[in-house]
Structure 1
Amino acid sequence: MRHRQVALLRGVNVGGRNRIPMALWREVLSGRGFGEVATLLQSGNAVFTASCPAAESERLVAADLAAEFGFEVPVLVRTRDELAAVVAADPLGEVASVPAQYLVTFLSARPDPAALAELDVAGCAPDVVRFGEREVYVWCPEGVRNSRVPQSWWERRLGLRATSRNWSTVTRLLELADAGR
């Protein structure tokens, strides 16, 4: 059975580094055997249909990226249903009034609750932080660039791979995943 999945790459086409043309990226993913491949923006976000579990797709996408383009970046894959659950949870929807200032950080695994408890989220005010299963929701009322939430928390403090998307991108990726159903 084939399932819709979403690949999230960190650090692609940023500041002239780790360049990948989206048309070629779609070809690479299609050549892997993924179906109905679509990309969003220039960040390597890709939606596709796969017959393997998301964890295997994650490994395959990372390997194809390295083989075709010669560099490695963190890759996280979520199923369409997992992404729909992230959107449905929306713990900050009542306060996050500007989608571009509302981030979802996707984590490679569920964080250790003890490690989460050590993070000083209150000290990040006026930013508001809420934790999901394998996501962190952050409302940045003063803008993402002025966020007081340290990005180092996710990888250094929690020991997990992480990549963030704003709410507009998250919901658009879900729309793309639904379009291929």
Structure 2
Amino acid sequence: MNRFIVLLRGINVSGKNKIPMADLRQLLHDLEFKNVQTYIQSGNIILDSEEIKSTVCQKIKEGIQNKFGFEIPVIARTIPEWKKVIQNYPFSLENEKIVAFTFLEHNTEIKKIEVKGILEDEYLIDTNMVYLYCPSGFARTKLSNNLFERKLNVTATTRNLRTTLKLLELATK
């Protein structure tokens, strides 16, 4: 049995793509995933499955499409992969309010993109991750999911440090 942390992109944002967490958990149980947990309302899931990562993502994506009627990108990581993401963070972790992790749906060969006006914000692209350090604040940064999706041609979803650490804590209890 494998444990996965699964991230849904773009649910319960500005009243769009609304999925009540109780309904999402029921769907995941119906799809025969085990030990299903959700964390906050923004599409963070922990679950166990015998399936491989790509199958887990596809089943969830199809299940949401069938039950709720919209298509949602789904990204998953194993617990060792999640731990590696945190360990590899290249910037300071001292101020949690300016630290974030952008998870990419698949690997990219691109290591640098041109982004104008990012002020003192920094990023590092690493295979299937983008590490963010945003002293200007996340409300002001140009380093967004949409930017990375457009420049890297890959689906992306971002979680702040607090959520990233909490998901690991819940997944390893």
Structure 2 equivalent of residue 143 of structure 1: 137
Q: CA deviation at 1:162?
A: 0.6
Worse-superposed segment, 152-161 or 10-19: 152-161
Structure 2 equivalent of residue 68 of structure 1: 67
Q: CA deviation at 1:12?
A: 0.5
| 1:70-85 correspondence runs (5 A) | 70-85=69-84
Q: Secondary structure at the match of 1:23?
A: helix
Q: Which amino acid aligns with 1:134?
A: N
Structure 1 equivalent of residue 102 of structure 2: 105
The Cα RMSD (Å) is: 1.6
Q: Deviations over 1:115-149 (max 9, x none)?
A: x33x1368523101112231001111121011132
Distance in 1 between residues matched to 2:164 and 2:79, nearest whole Å? 11
Q: Which amino acid aligns with 2:95?
A: V
Q: TM-score if structure 2 supplies the norm length? A: 0.93
Q: CA deviation at 1:160?
A: 0.4
Report whether the alignment pairs 1:11 with 2:10: yes
Q: TM-score if structure 1 supplies the norm length? A: 0.89
Structure 2 equivalent of residue 170 of structure 1: 164
Percent of aligned positions that are identical = 33
Matched length: 173
Residues 104 and 137, structure 1, Cα contact 8 Å, conserved in 2: yes
Q: Deviations over 1:16-51 (max 9, x none)?
A: 111111111111111111111000010121000010
Report whether the alignment pairs 1:155 with 2:154: no
Q: CA deviation at 1:150?
A: 4.7
Unaligned runs of 5+ in 1: none
Q: Deviations over 1:62-87 (max 9, x none)?
A: 11111111111211111111111101
Q: CA deviation at 1:52?
A: 0.7
Residues 145 and 158, structure 2, Cα contact 8 Å, conserved in 1: no
Distance in 2 between residues matched to 1:106 and 1:55, nearest whole Å? 15
Pair 121,97 (structure 1): closer, same or farther in 2 beyond 3 Å: farther
Q: Which amino acid aligns with 1:91?
A: P
Q: Secondary structure at the match of 1:4?
A: strand
Distance in 2 between residues matched to 1:161 and 1:143, nearest whole Å? 22
